[in-house]
Amino acid sequence: MTEPVIKPTLPAIVLVRPQMGENIGAAARAMWNFGLDHMRVVAPRDGWPNPAAVAMASGAGRLLDQARLCADLPDALADCDFVYATTARDRDLTKPVFSPEAAMQDAAARIAAGQRVAILFGPERAGLENDDIARANAIISVPVNPAFPSLNLAQCVLLMGYEWMRQTGTVAAQTTEMAGTDWASGAEVEHLAIHYEDRMEDAGFFYPDHKATSMKVNLRNMWSRMPLTRADVQMFHGMMRQMVRWKERG
């Protein structure tokens, strides 16, 4: 008998390439202060498990025990339907931008509708890179002092946790008519992005060479900005395969 799928009730907190174990532990404490317990750690600089993280986590140590270690960001987001990236800097990417309050209200509504939601936090030194943010669906911009915009990793997690706790008591459930399909997972969107990048690379689309990297980032950003269903993904794959076949027939 097939086990029923358990729908997520909380967002996943994804720490991308964190540097110091102490900050990971402090982030775990911040999460547990507001009832968040799903941590994913992507390529931590000092390895995993980390004794410094355990010492700093104090009463939130079980979050570290249950944390999911991921080799890279696509792995961390493979099962996610909607992803927010936290940043205090302006980015040359076209995406919806939320305040922390609006983002957690939106996240609560999405989770109530059955979606898997994740929030990305970048490494302490410089935050998320554009390639990371291109894989997110929206940006959370924290209104801070422009002369000193840097937030400690745990402080940023604490802020999101606080807004999550504030919003979840008042947000009503939201449903979406899916017309016989489901939302595309992170892995399915990643596979679609790679399919298009590979075929367009073969066609010489990424030209000139010095613009190729930014063109690929913008293309990936476009995919993540679109609320794709599985049917949408299958259609886009089919479109590209048909165009390739038509070209090969000459």
Asked if residue 102 belongs to a domain, the reply is yes
Residue-level pLDDT at 171: 42
Rounded distance, CA 139 to CA 91, Å? 10
Confidence class for position 170, pLDDT limits 50, 70, 90: very low
- Assess whether 71 and 23 both reside in one domain: yes
- Assess whether 219 and 153 both reside in one domain: no
Question: What average pLDDT does range 194-218 have in this prediction?
Answer: 95
Residue-level pLDDT at 175: 62
Strand partners, 8: none
Q: Where a domain ends, among 168, 199, 226? A: 168
- Assess whether 149 and 58 both reside in one domain: yes
What range defines the domain where residue 149 resides?
Answer: 12-168
Q: Tens digits of per-residue pLDDT, 43-86?
A: 999 999 999 999 999 899 999 999 999 999 999 999 999 999 99
Asked if residue 180 belongs to a domain, the reply is no
DSSP 193-239: HHHHHHHHHHTT-S-SGGGHHHHHHHHHHHHHHS--BHHHHHHHHHH
Q: Tell me the whole-structure pTM to 2 decimals.
A: 0.84
Q: Where are the alpha helices (DSSP H) in 67-185?
A: 73-77, 100-112, 130-133, 153-168
Q: Residue 183: what are its φ and ψ, rounded to 5°?
A: -65, 140
- Assess whether 73 and 197 both reside in one domain: no
Confidence class for position 179, pLDDT limits 50, 70, 90: confident
Under 8 Å CB-to-CB from 83, ≥6 apart: which residues?
A: 77, 117, 118, 119, 120, 135, 136, 137, 138, 186, 224
Q: Tens digits of per-residue pLDDT, 2-50?
A: 454 556 789 999 999 999 999 999 999 999 999 999 999 999 999 999 9
The CATH number for 82's domain is 3.40.1280.10
Asked if residue 70 belongs to a domain, the reply is yes
Mean pLDDT of the chain: 91
Instruction: Lowest mean pLDDT of 84-88, 170-174, 191-195, name the range.
Output: 170-174
Question: What average pLDDT does range 202-226 have in this prediction?
Answer: 94
Asked if residue 174 belongs to a domain, the reply is no
Candidates 71, 126, 79, 117; CA nearest to 98 is 117
- Assess whether 194 and 106 both reside in one domain: no
Q: Tens digits of per-residue pLDDT, 111-136?
A: 999 999 999 999 988 889 999 999 99
- Packing angle, helices 186-202 and 230-249, rounded to 10: 20
- Assess whether 162 and 55 both reside in one domain: yes
Asked if residue 230 belongs to a domain, the reply is yes
